[in-house]
Chain A
Amino acid sequence: DAGVIQSPRHEVTEMGQEVTLRCKPISGHDYLFWYRQTMMRGLELLIYFNNNVPIDDSGMPEDRFSAKMPNASFSTLKIQPSEPRDSAVYFCASSLASGKTDTQYFGPGTRLTVL
């Protein structure tokens, strides 16, 4: 089975531009998570969805960040406008809904550089 798929793997953009990161979770998984990894803050949860519905977006840093999950097999994380401090690796992860905590499987990440 395919794991979590993320695209693009690398993104370089200029400050002020809109950036869209994409994620396809593992088929059958009901939870989808977006994380950000930076040297200063480590791995931090931005938002997660259950059955396509956002459950907790308290980790989204600013209104410039938005995330959607239009269907069970696709999610986007958008940054508009982007800023240099948004440079990081963004991970998407998915897990099954099992009534208790289940293992989150991560995608390969998108390395974002904002110049």
Chain B
Amino acid sequence: AQKVTQAQTEISVVEKEDVTLDCVYETRDTTYYLFWYKQPPSGELVFLIRRNSFDEQNEISGRYSWNFQKSTSSFNFTITASQVVDSAVYFCALSEAYGGATNKLIFGTGTLLAVQP
């Protein structure tokens, strides 16, 4: 069965610190997609990144970087030099792609990141 685990319920850091949010997933399929979404205090869900199971290259976007390791079934998210505006709940999600017709997202429970000034 599919499952996404975000073991860190809450993280608190001081501005300018680096912080890594962990995500571990379970799936029996060889083709799947992983996502990160951000939910700021205003409540909307904002897409951050999508990664397919065949692409293990790490990705960097500004202060954000993602480390995908199939060997440990992990897709961790690092924010460098955190800012107060990064305060939000971050969700990791998994979707399988078999059959080409289904793209249901299975979400983790989220990690609440609080960045203190």
Contacts and interface: CB of A to CB of B under 8 A. Distances in A.
A115 interface: no
Contacts of A89: 43
A71 interface: no
Interface string B63-100: 00000000000000000000000000001000111001
Interface residues of A, number: 26
A48 B103 CA distance: 9
Contacts, number: 54
A55 to B, nearest CB: 7
Interface residues of B, number: 26
A50 B101 contact: yes
A111 B82 CA distance: 29
A101 B95 contact: yes
B103 A45 contact: no
Contacts of A107: 44
Contact of B45 (A56, A91, A101): A91
Contact of B44 (A42, A45, A106): A106
Interface string A83-112: 000000101010100011111111111010
Contacts of B107: 42-44
A95 B107 CA distance: 17
Contact of B35 (A50, A55, A103): A103
Interface of A: 31, 33, 42-45, 48, 50, 55-56, 89, 91, 93, 95, 99-109, 111
User: 7 smallest A-B Cβ distances: which pairs?
Assistant: A106-B45, A101-B103, A43-B107, A101-B97, A101-B33, A108-B44, A101-B95
25 contacts: A33-B105, A42-B109, A43-B91, A44-B107, A45-B105, A50-B101, A56-B104, A93-B45, A95-B103, A99-B100, A100-B100, A101-B32, A101-B52, A101-B96, A101-B97, A101-B103, A103-B47, A103-B50, A104-B47, A104-B105, A106-B47, A108-B44, A109-B43, A109-B45, A111-B43
